[in-house]
Structure 1
Amino acid sequence: MRHVHVPAAGVARSAPAYGHSSRSFGVKARWYLPAALATDLLGAGVPVGLVFTQADQPYPVGCAIGAAVVWTGVQALRRRYTGRALGESRGVLPVLHDWLILIGVLAVARAATGESSDPLTSLCALVPALLFTIACHKLTYRHLAAARREAQAVSRVLVIGEPEAAESVIGHLAGRTDHPYVVVGVVPVGTGRLTSGVPEPARLGPEPAEGLSEADAVLAAVRDQHADLVLVAPGARLAGERLRRIAWALHDAGLELAVFPGLVEISPKRLETLSAGGLAVLRVAPPVRRGVQPVLKSALDRAGAGLGLLVLAPVFLGLVAAIRLGSAGPAFYTQRRIGRDGEPFTMWKFRTMVVDADRLKAELSGSNENDGHMFKMRRDPRVTRVGRLLRRTSLDELPQLFNVLTGQMSLVGPRPPLPEEVAEYDEVELRRLTVRPGMTGLWQISGRSDLSWDETIALDLQYVDNWSFTSDVDLVARTFRAVVDGRGAY
């Protein structure tokens, strides 16, 4: 996999100057909470009041106030207004879950009070609450993501661990900006040289020292770098009693301690903390491969593909005519791809290139702009004028609904690779073939052709290992925005 070069500052984002005396870097914008509260109160109350008034339903004002109070109450009980939750990406499904709880609570209240409003009218009046809350979450998430790219609203982190483990943590955090951590210092344990350039305010010896000297050294390093969090990369020299004493000192000083277990790209949904004989154990659930969820996925694929082909039939006819008029050749293009477990299949697409595009690919091999096994050119001369529009809007992918309907592909999954790409896969890359390829996936909503090869593989493996039916539904919803945005589609 890709090795991230860690810049001299120790983080890829623009880190705040080391030794800064302010702790305001970890504070999110103050308007997040009032914006969320106002959105939930008004987004639930105002539409209910207006709809009930227009539909001549009883007690419009009382129902509006009740809906607003219950909606904010549900959000509060679900801890959506805490500083840790505000602005963070939670997707659409958690909000939908909260909204369904709202419907359930109001249904019980309606039955208990004998309220006689029309159920369908009431349900329609509550839909804006869901939409406004989702929009507010998207707004605050975008703002927070932009702030974190500028090293604002982040937590200053001091890393402790053996040099190799510490450098691995620093490198991983430096390569991404979708997290709240900025490394401001490192306390290596044992001998070994650090190359990241991160300040080293202290160093612990290979063996535990007597007394509280090590804990005092760590606390001094925290104060020196004004750290908000201590992140431990445990190893043979930093475990057991030694780690416990450091944890005691940090907690007594009111500081947070986090432990990196050495796992990457594992969804929190698969993690469970257990206690065995006084040992804290982290259980990692296996990826979902059997049971109800795969059956639901298959049902969603077939139903979605069938409905899509039926509804989009007029669009298909229009695109076929446009392609045939735009350039000589058939409207459809078929290509051999590799599916689940290495099984080859014929994938369908609308033709976006000239007829002899495959023959010309060898002549353009020196112009490949992808750093891996895929061939990508931003200005590929083989693409037709109509083809550029189809690629920009992802309409060229629609015939793959036939592949989904026949079970060769899924609506959501890794990108279906070419046979020549698979021939060069290593053991890690082959793991992406353990599920059906998809029309859309994490690669689709994360930049598509703008991604490097390593980033594409990392996203595919993240999907393969952490798949769930609800994540598929969320990805389908996020795909519509990616298609409209068009970033990386060429």
Structure 2
Amino acid sequence: MRLCSVATVIFAAVALRYSNLSWQEILAIEDFFSQTLFVASYSVIWIAILHHFNLYKINVFLTIVEQSIAIFKSVGYGILGLIIAAFFFKGNSLVDSRLIIGYFGLFALIGLILFRVMVFRALYIFLARKQILHRKVLIVGAGKSGRMMAANLMLDNTHGFEVVGFADDTQPVGSRVFENTYVLGTSNDIPKLVEHYHIDEVLIVIDNISYQRLMEIIDVARNTTAAVKVSSELYDIIPNKLFIESYLGIPVISMMKNHNYMAFLLYKRVFDIVMSLIGLLLLAVPFAIIAVLIKLTSKGPVFFKQTRIGKDGKPFSFYKFRTMYVNNDDAIHREFTKKLIAEAKHTNPEISKTIVNESGEIQQVKKIVNDPRVTSIGRFLRKTSLDELPQLFNVLKGDMSLVGPRPCLPYEWEEYEAWHKRRLSVTPGCTGLWQVSGRSAVGFNDMVILDLYYIENMSPLMDLKLIFKTLPVMLLAKGGY
């Protein structure tokens, strides 16, 4: 449906441009049908642009101004895409006309404003007020943040929210929070409350909660029929532009339930095999150059083989380009890792190990900076993540995936708490949310939060987003040591 609507806009622009011609004459244009295929392909790109600006998400509640800004931005990017396409397909494309590009922008702008801002908004408000789109919400947490979230939802009369009550572990059951709104039970009562009150959404908004406790409450809530959303400062690490939704200006994370999990895993495995084979073929020359540089700058093998922990705690052989001197002692890294994880276990979530980077900014850190075991060429390979390329062999074997949590070392695994180990309940990957969120400049607990968020929400679209986000991170060498 979306593909057809976008293609219709483009064809309408073409029809207006060539309005002096009959349809027979338009169809007689050289390579018309190949250009029709181009239009269909570009429509997919245009849909991705609209997705990026949240214009397809009915659960991202934007104001009229926010929607209008998003529409203008998306149309601008769409026109830019057509201009680039016209340049590359010059003289051989239906879009090789400034008039067509102008008409496309005009039709797209008018259509989006009419439908998204006016028609869709009016229809949504009408259905919400008629209680057809009525949603019952249970707020978990009756503290300051929970009350603020509830107040915003209760004051809004356009989106069909009904705050049924609160679940809270610190206030007595029956305590009044607002007029006619009470604490109905504890967090352990969530399944019972969802069933009894026919709750549609469980919204977790708890002040000063630990990582471990938040994970436990999410687990309880996910074992219900309700949608689960989280608003917590612990999730501030997640890139806002990528995945965070908005409830009336308040950032909210969805804990989605993948009902086609097995089909997704099959797709993911096929995608991994195809892309790793293509990658190994295309990177044959860079592999050879890196191998020569490693041999010329230090003694030892080109590849480094190491035991890592994979899915469900199972060890496997992990491959990288060698970046360290041979026969080095890993005692430094062992001690560093032990202290880092111990610190993460016992400190406040907002407190973590810090360093001052080259710009004088304080950053959280996971890796050792200026590791004396690393060679000169190894430092460059690590900075650009080129040392990770041999992991394509691991992907081909099935030990790893292109996207997923990073595998850990055995002695790191031994230090993990139970909730940390959940990050490897899926096949580990070459890249993930950690890589696009600052890589080494991310605290340990934040890294685990990112991985768990990926596991809860992984999808083909998310994987593609992360792969494309990883490329500029590698090229700009952000956060690597």
TM-score, length of structure 1 as denominator length: 0.53
Match of residue 480, structure 2, among 459, 469, 489: 489
C-alpha separation in 2, matches of 1:346 and 1:170: 50
C-alpha separation in 1, matches of 2:64 and 2:94: 45
**Match of residue 338 from structure 1:** 309
**Match of residue 372 from structure 2:** 381
Residue 444 (str. 1) matches residue 435 (str. 2)? yes
Match of residue 329, structure 1, among 288, 293, 300: 300
Query: What SS does the aligned partner of 1:336 have?
Result: strand
- Give unmatched runs, 5+ long, in structure 1: 1-25, 85-159, 173-188, 195-203, 219-231, 240-257, 275-282
C-alpha separation in 2, matches of 1:300 and 1:333: 26
Match of residue 462, structure 2, among 431, 454, 471: 471
Match of residue 260, structure 1, among 203, 207, 228: 203
Residue 458 (str. 1) matches residue 474 (str. 2)? no
C-alpha separation in 1, matches of 2:174 and 2:421: 39
User: In the superposition, relative to structure 1, how do residues 386 and 193 fare at CA in structure 2: closer, same or farther (>3 Å)?
Assistant: same
User: In the superposition, relative to structure 1, how do residues 40 and 313 fare at CA in structure 2: closer, same or farther (>3 Å)?
Assistant: closer
User: In the superposition, relative to structure 1, how do residues 390 and 75 fare at CA in structure 2: closer, same or farther (>3 Å)?
Assistant: farther
User: In the superposition, relative to structure 1, how do residues 353 and 272 fare at CA in structure 2: closer, same or farther (>3 Å)?
Assistant: same
Residue 361 (str. 1) matches residue 332 (str. 2)? yes
User: In the superposition, relative to structure 1, how do residues 233 and 386 fare at CA in structure 2: closer, same or farther (>3 Å)?
Assistant: farther
**Match of residue 303 from structure 1:** 274
User: In the superposition, relative to structure 1, how do residues 34 and 385 fare at CA in structure 2: closer, same or farther (>3 Å)?
Assistant: same
The aligned amino acid for 1:68 is G
Match of residue 397, structure 1, among 388, 391, 407: 388
1:424-463 deviations in whole A, cap 9, x for unaligned? 3222222222211000001111122221111011111111
**Match of residue 104 from structure 1:** none
Residue 43 (str. 1) matches residue 20 (str. 2)? no
C-alpha separation in 2, matches of 1:316 and 1:233: 63
| Displacement after TM superposition at 1:74 (Å) | 5.8
The aligned amino acid for 2:203 is F
C-alpha separation in 1, matches of 2:334 and 2:433: 31
1:160-217 deviations in whole A, cap 9, x for unaligned? 989x741675999xxxxxxxxxxxxxxxx9x9999xxxxxxxxx996559xxxx65xx
Tell me, yes or no, if the aligned pair for 1:45 and 1:67 is still in contact at 8 Å: no
Aligned residue pairs: how many? 320
| Displacement after TM superposition at 1:393 (Å) | 0.4
User: In the superposition, relative to structure 1, how do residues 63 and 387 fare at CA in structure 2: closer, same or farther (>3 Å)?
Assistant: same
Tell me, yes or no, if the aligned pair for 2:300 and 2:326 is still in contact at 8 Å: yes
| Displacement after TM superposition at 1:28 (Å) | 7.7
User: In the superposition, relative to structure 1, how do residues 401 and 41 fare at CA in structure 2: closer, same or farther (>3 Å)?
Assistant: closer
Tell me, yes or no, if the aligned pair for 2:82 and 2:95 is still in contact at 8 Å: no
Task: Give me the CA root mean square deviation.
Answer: 5.1
Query: What SS does the aligned partner of 2:317 have?
Result: strand
Tell me, yes or no, if the aligned pair for 2:95 and 2:101 is still in contact at 8 Å: no
Tell me, yes or no, if the aligned pair for 2:312 and 2:426 is still in contact at 8 Å: yes
| Displacement after TM superposition at 1:294 (Å) | 1.4
1:74-101 deviations in whole A, cap 9, x for unaligned? 644774899x9xxxxxxxxxxxxxxxxx
**Match of residue 166 from structure 1:** 143
| Displacement after TM superposition at 1:338 (Å) | 1.1
1:236-281 deviations in whole A, cap 9, x for unaligned? 4999xxxxxxxxxxxxxxxxxx98346669999x99669xxxxxxx
Residue 315 (str. 1) matches residue 292 (str. 2)? no
Q: Which has the higher contact order (CA 8 A, sep 6+)?
A: 1
Identical pairs, percent: 31
The aligned amino acid for 1:467 is M
**Match of residue 64 from structure 1:** 101
| Displacement after TM superposition at 1:68 (Å) | 2.1
| Displacement after TM superposition at 1:291 (Å) | 3.3
Residue 417 (str. 1) matches residue 408 (str. 2)? yes
5 Å matches for 1:179-218?
Answer: 207-208=175-176, 215=179
**Match of residue 152 from structure 2:** none
- Give unmatched runs, 5+ long, in structure 2: 1-62, 122-137, 150-165, 190-200, 206-216, 229-253, 346-364
